[in-house]
Amino acid sequence: MSGKYIEYQQLNLPSIGEEILAKWKKENSFEKSVELREGFPPFVFYEGPPSANGMPGIHHVISRTLKDLVCRYKTMQGFQVKRKGGWDTHGLPIELGVEKELGITKEDIGVKISVEDYNKKCREVVMRFKDKWDDITQKMGYWVDLNNPYVTFENNYVESLWWCLSELYKKGYLYESVSIQPYSPAAGTGLSSHELNQPGTYKDVKDTSAVAMFKAPLPPKGGEGQQPALRKITAALADTPNPPLGGGGAEAFFLAWTTTPWTLPSNLGLTVGPNIDYVLVQTFNPYTHLPINVILAKALVGKYFKPEGENGDLENYNQKLK
**Structural domain boundaries of the chain?**
13-196, 210-262+271-305
The pLDDT, as a whole number, for residue 67 is 95
- Tell me the percentage of the chain whose pLDDT exceeds 90: 46
Question: Which are the contacts of 245, defined by CB distance < 8 A and separation ≥ 6?
Answer: 282, 283, 291, 292, 293, 314
The pLDDT, as a whole number, for residue 186 is 76
The pLDDT, as a whole number, for residue 238 is 57
How do residues 181-239 score in pLDDT, each as one tens digit?
Answer: 888 887 788 888 878 887 777 788 888 888 999 988 765 555 555 566 666 666 666 55
- From the options 1.10.3720.10, 3.30.420.40, 3.40.50.620, 3.40.50.280, give the CATH code of 13-196: 3.40.50.620
Phi-psi region of 30 (alpha: psi -120 to 50; beta: other; left: phi over 0): alpha
The pLDDT, as a whole number, for residue 195 is 80
How do residues 58-96 score in pLDDT, each as one tens digit?
Answer: 999 999 999 999 999 999 999 999 999 999 998 888 888
pLDDT at residue 44 is higher than 90: yes
The pLDDT, as a whole number, for residue 230 is 64
The pLDDT, as a whole number, for residue 249 is 46
